Amino acid sequence: MLAIFHKAFANPPEELNSPASVNGSKKPKLPEETLKEFLSAHPTNAFSMSFGHAAVLAYVRQDQTFSLHQRLFCGFDEIYCLFFGSLNNLCALNKQYGQSKNTNEAMLVIEAYRTLRDRGPYPADQVVKDFEGSFAFVVYDSKAGSVFSALGSDGGVKLFWGLAADGSVVICDDLEVIKAGCAKSYAPFPSGCMFLSGGGLMSFEHPMNKMKAMPRIDSEGVMCGANFKVDKYSRVNSIPRVGSEANWTDWNTN
C-alpha cells in the first residue's frame, strides 16, 4: 500500500527530514514520480485514488485467494482506509461496533474512526489497543482533511514513512518504494504506535510516555531520518479523554 499526503494535512515529525537528502547524490522524488513508479511495478493489479493536491492512496489487489497478511482498500462516507495484515479478534470487534459478521478489517477500522470522530467514547489509544493481530493501516478523512495511521506491536507486518521532495508525507509497506521516493528522509514506522495529523506520533501501548527520536545511521555512516521510540523516562502531564462534543481529529497530547 502507498499513501501520500501534502505536508499541510499530515504535519510530519521534523526528525524525518534528513540533511543528507538535500546534500547527498540521491534526491527525494516528487509524489507523482513515486506514485507512477509504484503503479508501473504492478501494472495489472494496482489501483489508486487522487484527492487533488491533498492526498493520493494506492494499493495492490490481492493476487491470492488466501493470505495470512491480506491487503484491503475501501471507502465509506468520504473516509478511506488502506489495511495490511489481519485482526485476530475481528468478530468480537464487529459485534462491539455493531457491524455485520462479514465486515472486513478495513471497514471495521473506518467504523472505529467514525465512532471516535463523532462520539468519542474512548481515547484513541484505547481503541487501537483493542486491535489484536498483525496490522498496519492508513485512514484518510477527505472531508475533514485528517490522517490517521497505526502499526501493530507484534512485528508481524512492517510500515515505513518519509518525506517526498516537496515535503509531502509518504507512507508505504514497501521499503524499496520509500527508499527510492524519499532518499535519506525515511524511517521505519514505530511498532505499537499511531500517528494523527492533529496530534502527532504516540504509542498506543504506553500513551503516558512521550516519543523520542533517535538519529538513524545508514550503512554508509550517513544520518538518515530517525528511529522513533517510547521514552520510558519522560511522561506527559495528562492524556485528555475525548468527549462526545469534541472532534478527535483536533486532539493532541501537548
Encode pLDDT of 131-166 as tens digits. Answer: 999 999 999 999 999 999 999 999 899 999 999 999
Distances from the Cα of 160 to the Cα of 138, 150, 155, 157, 182, angstroms: 12, 11, 13, 10, 11
Could you give the domains of the chain?
A: 2-250 (3.60.20.10)
Dihedral (Cα; 218, 220, 222, 228), 10-degree rounding: 10
Bridge partner list, 4: 56, 170
pLDDT score of 253: 40
pLDDT score of 236: 66
Q: How many Å apart are CA 231 and CA 211, to the nearest integer?
A: 6
pLDDT score of 43: 87
pLDDT score of 190: 93
pLDDT mean for each 10 residues of the chain (254 residues): 92 83 78 94 90 94 69 94 96 94 95 85 82 96 94 93 94 93 92 90 88 76 78 66 47 42
In angstroms and rounded to an integer, the radius of gyration of the C-alpha atoms of the chain is: 18
Q: Which long-range contacts (CB under 8 A, 24 or more apart) does 172-178 make?
A: 172/1, 172/2, 172/3, 172/38, 173/1, 173/84, 173/136, 174/2, 174/38, 177/2, 177/34, 177/37, 177/38
